[in-house]
Amino acid sequence: MTRPHRAPFAPLFAEFAHLSAFLTRPPADLSAAAILGWPAYKGGECLRCGAFTGVAFPRGCSGGCPSCTPPPPFTFARSLFAYEGQVREGIRAAKYGRRAVAVEALAVRLHGAVRDRWSDLFPFGFRPAVVPVPIHPLKYFLRGFNLPAFVGRALARRAGWAFAPLALRRGWDARPQAGSRLTDRRENVRDAFRVPAGVRTLSDVLILDDVYTSGATAAACAGALKTAGARHIVVLTVARTVL
Ligand SMILES: [Zn+2]
């Protein structure tokens, strides 16, 4: 199959487009009180990929939703918030405005959900290494801030889990995901991530990202970690787009 054309400076243009859109809005409230009040998604979700389907899957059902065909390379994925309204504005403000003030409150919310709402998925003996999804190198150069890395570190500290920010590396040739057609996303990131040589094999891994959209990024990260020897891979994101 012919690989899509890689535009090396596409991330640069995408970054400025997002930044300019963000700067024209009033500042979002990223106080701890505001984030602690964000409503968690309460609707039905796919038991495997965590898709916000609005339909409750019965406990014990091993099947997934249509997004799970073919099955993703992770055991399960879960997201806390619907990516809309104040949550969407808040995450964009934290991400593009480099507002680390939101980090601790987001980690508190995620840790609370791990202990309570998803306690059956995170039993006491499960102690994964938290691996944040790496940002594109050019975006990091421009932004100097990767929200998943900060939230992942704070979550790992709260839960007593290991933090492995260097377990995955992102290449230069991946195009930005935001704004891409869903059908292009999987191809865009298929080979974008790799486990660097010399990194210790991680058995139990929690991939941490800010927003789950098509699942292409999560699948690419999980695939790379699985190839490197990981056995049990779960995905946790702050928010998720609603189907
Ligand atoms: Zn699913």
Task: Measure 39 CA to ligand 1 centroid, in angstroms.
Answer: 22
Q: 179, exposed or middle or buried, with CB in 10 Å at 0-12, 13-18, 19+?
A: exposed
Phi/psi at 238 (5° precision): -65, -45
> What is the per-residue pLDDT across 84-118, written as a single tens digit (0 to 9) for each?
999 999 999 998 887 788 999 999 999 999 999 99
Task: Measure 219 CA to ligand 1 centroid, in angstroms.
Answer: 12
Confidence of residue 204 (pLDDT cuts 50, 70, 90): very high
How many domains does the chain fold into? 1
- Between CA 35 and CA 20, with CA 214 as vertex, the angle to 5 degrees is 60
Amino acid, res. 130: V
Domain that holds residue 45: 10-240
In a domain, 5, yes or no: no
Task: Measure 100 CA to ligand 1 centroid, in angstroms.
Answer: 31
Task: Measure 48 CA to ligand 1 centroid, in angstroms.
Answer: 5
Helix axes 10-23, 85-96, angle to 10 degrees: 120
Examine the pLDDT at 8 and tell me if it is beyond 90: no
Centroid of chain to Cα 232 = 17
> What is the per-residue pLDDT across 225-235, written as a single tens digit (0 to 9) for each?
999 999 999 99
Phi-psi region of 229 (alpha: psi -120 to 50; beta: other; left: phi over 0): left
- CA nearest neighbour of 233 among 204, 213, 190, 196: 204
> What is the per-residue pLDDT across 181-193, written as a single tens digit (0 to 9) for each?
555 666 667 779 9
> What is the per-residue pLDDT across 61-89, written as a single tens digit (0 to 9) for each?
666 788 888 899 999 999 999 999 999 99
| Average pLDDT of the segment spanning 173-185 | 57
CATH number of the domain at 189, please.
3.40.50.2020
Q: Do 7 and 171 meet the contact criterion of CB atoms below 8 Å apart?
A: no
pTM here is: 0.85
- CA nearest neighbour of 128 among 202, 199, 74, 78: 202
Task: Measure 49 CA to ligand 1 centroid, in angstroms.
Answer: 4
Task: Measure 63 CA to ligand 1 centroid, in angstroms.
Answer: 8
In a domain, 127, yes or no: yes
> What is the per-residue pLDDT across 16-35, written as a single tens digit (0 to 9) for each?
666 666 666 667 889 999 99
Task: Measure 172 CA to ligand 1 centroid, in angstroms.
Answer: 29
In a domain, 168, yes or no: yes
